[in-house]
Structure 1
Amino acid sequence: MSDSARAVIDAIAAQWAVPGTAVVAVDRNDVVFAHYSGQSDVSARTPVGARHLFPIGSISKTFTAVALLQLLDGGRIRLDTTIADLLDWLPEPLRSNEITLQRLLNHTAGVIGSVDALPDEIGQATLYTGALSTAAPGSFFHYSNVGYILLGLAAATVSGRSLASLVEERILDPLRMRDTVARVTYDDYEALACGYQPRRDDRPWVPGDALAPAPWLEVAGADGNLAATAIDLGRFARMLLGGGQLDGTKILSTNAFEAMVSRLAPSGEDVLDLHGVAATESSRYGLGINVERCAGHTVLTHGGGMVGYASFLIADLDAGLAVCVLTNANGDTPVAEAIARCTAAELVGPGQVDINRLDPRWWDAAHVEKAGFLGQFRSSGGEVIHVSAAERRGELARLSVSGGGDTAPLLRTWGQRAVTTLPKLRRFALTFEGDRWHWGATELASDTTPVLVSAPDNPLTAFCGHYRCYSPWFTNFRVVLRGDRLLLIAPGGVEAPGDETELVPIGPAMFRIGADERLPERLTFGPPINGASPWADRGGCRYSRAFTE
């Protein structure tokens, strides 16, 4: 069974151009599988090894939650304690009596997702200017890095020590996670695998595009502060499989662990739909961990995306099997999740995963034909593309797209987008909705279908353009007008939306980011100069209009 798992890992890494991977599977007693492949440093051709550290991003949130639950076990806090009771210096938006520790832990406090303008957690908290969700408290799952930054500050205040010290003394040391660090500084540089990101950030990445070393970041915030080896993370996963205990060492009480997996948000993280992997019946976020029901089993999961790194942990409590995946692929890709879920499936039942169906070049032929992807499509301006099946192999098909005298493969992504190297279509990804392709502001429909046209005098055109900032988490986006809808489209980025997002007007030059009225994120534009807004503000992070289109 290990041979088929290795083959699947290597196939996914090759198909999606992952520089290096470290994969460990454990049961309640020990490591049952380990696989290291690729390179920790591409330029030096250094292979990934068992001692290489990888930042684990948001998997750190589970450690933060464990630290808070230990304080709960000690009677130092309650889950209904408000964050303002513990941090009395917080600005007014965060002083609501509805923002409790439990709601912060399961992402139902209504706090915005992230504040990327500042690296320091206290700075992010004190300068919080975002709105709160309009949803009833506790009723709406909205993932929030800011919420976990607040939890880390609360843990430090209650315990009288830094979160890093708390995690080291009460989690890492008892679990003998000897190589893991609870904050990442320049002192750790040599021990870490080099992270990678697309060399170009202004257009969608296509497998095969050039990669470049990601910028180095020092991190200590509770939303993503740890770096670990796969073996060490496997020990943490064994503790989860043990209900809060590992080899007789109790990290969490039975009651605290039960709270972790039962105090659930109404919904939770999105789950990749992978052929050969059992479908997830439900996904709801608990206290620091996503709780899924799959084939009657309770499965704990968490992903971690950092600039230059993508990680994933999955622990099946009923099967007694966990898989930990660390990669130095950029954190805006769910490739680590795909590797983890497929590896778990292969270890349980070898041969379940068809690696061709994970290849971005191959599409489900029946779906392509039923959805109407194929044919000639034309824009209101007369631009024409032609999408065709270039090759058919059983139930799979390779697609190509033609336009402007060129032809190139049309590739799937993990989400709703399709990408291509066709020169005229490089700036945006393609999405298919209804009976037409969308590309930026452009709708491309069959010759018999009418196409939406934006009014030339629409005042929303003042906000359209390309915007940039210096934050490595979400470097740039474009705003386009398609018909009468204003859309934000980001080519990539760890904190960027994965799909095009509607901007809904809620005030003069102010827009809600997303169609769901419960969402708290806002985008505000500066007063137009010569008919164009010179800047935009996203949750306190300023972007200036770029000179590039």
Structure 2
Amino acid sequence: MNERTRVVQNPLDAVALETAMENVHRAGMPGVFAEVRDGDQVWRGAAGVADVATGRPVTAGMRHRVGSITKTFTAAAVLQLVETGQIGLDTSIGHYLPRLVPGDRGDAITVRMLINHTSGLAEYLPHAYPSLKAFPSLADTGPESMDDHRLTRFDPTDLIGMGVAAPAVGAPGGTPGLYSNTNYLLLGQLLEHVTGTPAEKLITRNVIDRAGLPDTRFPDGPQVQGPHSRIYEAWFGMIDPPRDYSLYDMSWVGPSASLISTMADLNRFFGMLLAGEIVAPSSLAQMRHTVPVISQEGKVIDYGLGLHPMEVPGGGTFWGHGGTVWGGGTLSMTRADGRRQMSVAINLQRWNRLDASGKPQPHPIDDALAALYRVAMCGQPADTRNVVSPRPRAS
């Protein structure tokens, strides 16, 4: 990744941002809201509705389930303990949690491999949700178990057990790695084992409160407290019309993807993280050391320790994370120099229907989102070909 890519300075263009956001809504997204920063300039905007039944509008300050962006918070909490010597980044997980990852496998998988998804541990989700058993063969999946588990309270060790018992998806440390939520549930157990404090409470104290994020928290029930949008899941056209999943017990992902936040809080967090104010500069350098990882969409991406980069032609290198849950999606990216930031939330997921071969078909939302991201990151709306819209599946 070339950190010296020439960056074209583009101050915030409110009209271009508002137009790009409206285009996402017109393309079929019920609601979209965002905060974009350039130095001291801040733009916040929203388009569309938070409730398709009542027409209640979305607003820029709404709280949102931000999915796998949670992983960056969890990784930061682990690295803080690496700095104090309480966790060894290259120590085996079997040293800490031999009952959860026993035997030679536990000895071979290190903490680093969990954070960067090179452990070889399988994703537990298709085993916890029976109607998703055929994943990644989307045409053979169904949404039924999403409803069945709406209020299920999962035990994280049970979910980890499913991932560990499943056939390995690679050798420990091998590349490309495979993105797996099993890794981050193990990191949650590691945090609790080392400190005696539940992971969510520890991350709140050491990361969220340290960054001063007033609207960021782990859920203590199935509701999102405070102003928020309903979130709608289409599961590739199999749920028509899309169904509201804003009321959901998030124990199915815990410290991997359950966090609730706002776009303003996310920009503040990533700004502080990349400035070395959450973890030490040496830890940040570790976070930005990437390896190839296969995403849940089957694409090879560069992934570090809870961070991934995005190269934007004319805009430089951005670092951050994306995430989805049932119905909700978020992308938060900050330029390497910390000056330009973008956090965008959407309230519909899996909008692409499947073609005859079972692959997601292109949809106007895809291009409209890519255009919004480009305007937000570098103020250039014309060329969307090189901007990727990362949407990890249910993570």
1:319/1:181 CA distance change after superposition, 3 Å = closer
What pairs with 1:132-531 in structure 2 (closer than 5 Å)?
132-135=168-171, 137-183=173-219, 185-186=221-222, 188-189=224-225, 191-198=227-234, 203=237, 210-214=241-245, 216-220=247-251, 221-242=254-275, 244-245=276-277, 251-262=278-289, 264-267=290-293, 269=295, 283-295=301-313, 297-318=316-337, 320-330=339-349, 342-347=371-376, 350=379, 352-353=381-382, 494-495=393-394
1:272/1:86 CA distance change after superposition, 3 Å = closer
Q: Deviations over 1:288-331 (max 9, x none)?
A: 11124444933213211100101111222147211101111126
* Residue from 161, 175, 185 that aligns with 1:126: 161
Q: Deviations over 1:91-144 (max 9, x none)?
A: 547843221110111111111123351733121123442111344633222101
1:335/1:75 CA distance change after superposition, 3 Å = farther
Instruction: Give the number of aligned pairs.
Output: 342
Residue 139 of structure 2 aligns with which residue? none
1: CA distance, partners of 2:351 / 2:175 = 27
2: CA distance, partners of 1:12 / 1:114 = 33
* Aligned-partner residue type, residue 141 of structure 1: G
* Aligned-partner residue type, residue 12 of structure 1: V
Taking structure 2 as the reference length, the TM-score comes to: 0.76
2: CA distance, partners of 1:271 / 1:151 = 23
* Aligned-partner residue type, residue 85 of structure 2: G
1:5 aligns with 2:17: yes
* Aligned-partner residue type, residue 24 of structure 2: I
Q: Which secondary structure state, in structure 2, belongs to the residue aligned with residue 42 of structure 1?
A: coil
* CA shift for structure 1 position 194: 1.1
Q: Deviations over 1:421-471 (max 9, x none)?
A: xxxxxxxxxxxxxxxxxxxxxxxxxxxxxxxxxxxxxxxxxxxxxxxxxxx
In proportion to residue count, which structure has more strand?
Answer: 1
**Structure label with greater radius of gyration:** 1
1: CA distance, partners of 2:121 / 2:342 = 31
2: CA distance, partners of 1:495 / 1:344 = 21
* CA shift for structure 1 position 44: 2.7
Q: Is the 8 A contact 1:327 1:336 kept in 2?
A: no
Residue 107 of structure 1 aligns with which residue? 117
| Structure 1 residues without counterparts, runs of 5 or longer | 246-250, 274-281, 359-413, 416-492, 497-549
1:124/1:41 CA distance change after superposition, 3 Å = same
1:115/1:104 CA distance change after superposition, 3 Å = same
Q: Is the 8 A contact 2:21 2:46 kept in 1?
A: no
1:350/1:202 CA distance change after superposition, 3 Å = closer
Q: Which secondary structure state, in structure 2, belongs to the residue aligned with residue 68 of structure 1?
A: helix
* Aligned-partner residue type, residue 304 of structure 1: G
* Aligned-partner residue type, residue 149 of structure 1: L
1:177/1:43 CA distance change after superposition, 3 Å = same
Q: Deviations over 1:7-62 (max 9, x none)?
A: 112102221x21211211124x5452211222222223222124421100011111
| Structure 2 residues without counterparts, runs of 5 or longer | 1-12, 130-153, 353-362
2: CA distance, partners of 1:122 / 1:60 = 19
1: CA distance, partners of 2:195 / 2:188 = 11
* CA shift for structure 1 position 229: 1.2
1:171/1:271 CA distance change after superposition, 3 Å = same
Q: Is the 8 A contact 2:176 2:294 kept in 1?
A: no
Q: Is the 8 A contact 1:114 1:495 kept in 2?
A: no
1:349/1:100 CA distance change after superposition, 3 Å = closer
2: CA distance, partners of 1:331 / 1:54 = 17
Q: Which secondary structure state, in structure 2, belongs to the residue aligned with residue 171 of structure 1?
A: helix
* CA shift for structure 1 position 346: 2.0
* CA shift for structure 1 position 189: 4.8
Q: Is the 8 A contact 2:86 2:194 kept in 1?
A: yes
Taking structure 1 as the reference length, the TM-score comes to: 0.56
* CA shift for structure 1 position 157: 1.3
Q: Which secondary structure state, in structure 2, belongs to the residue aligned with residue 188 of structure 1?
A: coil
1:34/1:141 CA distance change after superposition, 3 Å = same
Query: Identity over the aligned pairs, expressed in percent?
Result: 26
* CA shift for structure 1 position 342: 3.1
* Aligned-partner residue type, residue 305 of structure 2: L
* CA shift for structure 1 position 180: 1.2
**CA RMSD between the two structures:** 3.5
Q: Which secondary structure state, in structure 2, belongs to the residue aligned with residue 35 of structure 1?
A: strand
Q: Is the 8 A contact 1:268 1:285 kept in 2?
A: no
2: CA distance, partners of 1:4 / 1:65 = 35
In proportion to residue count, which structure has more helix?
Answer: 2
1:183/1:142 CA distance change after superposition, 3 Å = same
* CA shift for structure 1 position 338: 6.3
Structure with larger RCO (C-alpha < 8 A, sep 6+): 2
Q: Is the 8 A contact 1:261 1:289 kept in 2?
A: yes
